[in-house]
Amino acid sequence: MKKKETLWTRDFSRITIATVLSAIGGEAMNLPISLLVFDETNSTMLSALILVCGMLPDVVLPILVAPLIDKGGKKGWIVGLDLLLAVLYAFMGFWVGGHEFVFGLYLGFTLLVGTISVFYRLAYDAWYPDLIPAGFEQKGYAVSTAIYSFVVIFAAPVTAYFYERVSMQQMFFLVSGITFVSVLTESFIREEKKVNKDKYTFRQYCSDMKEGFVWLKTEKGIRNIYSYMSITEGTSQGIGLITQAWCQSQFSAAAFGFIRFAEMLGRALSSLFQYVKEIPVKKRYAFTKFVYFFYSLMDMLLLFCPYPAMLANRFLCGGLGTSSATIRETAVKSYLPAEMRARVNALFSVIFAVGGVCFQFLAGVLGDLMPYRAVVLLLSAVTIGSMFFLIVLPSKENRPVYEAVRK
């Protein structure tokens, strides 16, 4: 197969546009709902329940649906699920226009969106590598990472600003329209992989899942990396929840929006840097260890900083965090066999979800019982401990993963 001379093929450009639109829609809804729940309830525990509900489907569903996605076409899943989201956002817009705040309604909405997102994310993660021309993997993942960062740069302060001035009904309608445009864009992407037309039996399903578990059993490095990521993602989300409560209590909702802005600005600039300059393969592992330690240290100090220093703190963490995330995604996606991407990703989605649910709920409960600063210190200490035992000590197993390249 002849190597493409550019990353920006027609299909990659289309998936990039669609991803931008989807990210705008998600961010435009997630932050206002989070802010609304805390304003209405003044409880970090209830705010955490909203976040937990969004992750509960990831505890079970990925393992159940991954083999189906591996065996079929990914485009159909992506287009169909985005269309379903557009309809759901429109329905919520009509509903909230004539009703007062009901915590249970937003709880159910978040659970449903989380369920749809499980299918969407697995299909997207399995399809996206096929749309990146060979030899442009780090550039492709740098673009993917930059998309969310740039979206939040603009969306976080804007949505936080409009949250206090625009009705939730208008925001739901706007996001519905954006998501529908994403559907139209995705429908023009070509999918060259042939869809398996054979009948897919339950026996085949069990066999495929067993194959994924057997492969993973021999890959200690992959298990170490994603076990650590499940912990650090969970603690990071918990710290984000506490930081939001701190800003809303000490400053304003807009102040938290600018915290997100600073972090995403760092991420975006880091993504641009990695787009034009690749980190050498042999330096990936050492660089990643440094970033993990630095990020945890900055988390510890975050709520002890004056507000301008908080912005600088998140800017640095955003930049370095994105660098390590791009390296990890480039290496792991190159390391995973193409025919097992959805299954292995599904197994780790479950692990991520368990970590996220546990730590976010823990942060919410502790936030109602302890000073916010103490909660952040505790969660940061857990992250540093897990980094030492899962990333630093087992270097023999982890290094080959970080140094993997696609053949």
Which of 232, 259, 242, 233 shows the shortest CA–CA distance to 375? 242
In the predicted structure, residue 107 carries a pLDDT above the cut 60: yes
CA 107 to chain centre: 20
Neighbours of 134 (CB within 10 A): 11
Neighbours of 385 (CB within 10 A): 12
Proportion of the chain above pLDDT 90, given as a percent = 16
Burial of 318 (0-12, 13-18, 19+ CB in 10 A): buried
The phi, psi pair for 55, rounded to 5°, reads -105, -15
Q: What is the mean pLDDT of the chain?
A: 81
* Residue 144 predicted with pLDDT over 50: yes
- Whether residue 398 is predicted with pLDDT greater than 80 in this model: the reply is yes
CA gap 222, 238 in Å, rounded: 24
- State the pTM of this model: 0.65
The single residue listed with the structure tokens 């206002």 is 32
**Per-residue pLDDT tens over the stretch 16-64:** 888 888 888 877 777 788 788 888 888 878 888 887 787 788 777 777 7
The CATH architecture one would assign to domain 10-186+215-402 is Up-down Bundle (1.20)
Residue 108 in tokens? 């159910």
Q: What confidence tier does 90 reach under pLDDT thresholds 50, 70, 90?
A: very high
Alpha carbon distance 149, 141 (integer Å): 13
- The answer to whether 62 and 346 have CB atoms below 8 angstroms apart is yes
Of 205 and 397, the structure prediction assigns the larger pLDDT to 397
At residue 70, the pLDDT reads 65
pLDDT digits (tens, 9 = 90+) for 279-300: 777 888 888 889 899 999 999 9
The pLDDT of residue 117 is 85
Q: 304 falls in which pLDDT band (50, 70, 90)? A: very high
The least confident of 3-12, 287-296, 376-385 is 3-12
Question: What's the token pair of residue 379?
Answer: 């969660």
Q: What is the pLDDT of residue 211?
A: 72
Which tens digit of pLDDT belongs to each residue from 56-73?
Answer: 887 777 777 766 776 667
10 Å CB burial of residue 94 (0-12, 13-18, 19+) is: exposed
Report pLDDT for 1: 43
Residue 176 tokens, joined: 């519905």
Tell me whether residue 26 is exposed, middle or buried, using C-beta atoms within 10 angstroms of its C-beta: 0 to 12, 13 to 18, 19 or more: buried
What average pLDDT score do residues 194-220 get?
67
Q: Are 186 and 78 in contact (CB under 8 A)?
A: yes
Residue type, position 372, single letter: Y
Average pLDDT over residues 248-276: 81
Mean pLDDT, to the nearest integer, of 157-182?
84
Over residues 235-241, mean pLDDT:
89
Integer Cα distance of 335 and 129 in angstroms = 12
Q: How many CA atoms lie within 13 A of 12 on its CB side?
A: 18
pLDDT of 190 higher than 70 = yes
How many angstroms separate the CA atoms of 218 and 401, rounded? 13
Q: Is the pLDDT of residue 373 over 90?
A: yes
Specify whether the CB–CB gap between 86 and 172 falls below 8 A.
no
Give percent above pLDDT 70 in the chain. 89
Show Cβ contacts of residue 9 under 8 Å, excluding neighbours closer than 6 positions.
Answer: 131, 133
Contact (Cβ atoms closer than 8 angstroms) between residue 342 and residue 125? yes
pLDDT, greater one: 310 or 271: 310
Q: How far apart are the first and last CA of the chain?
A: 13
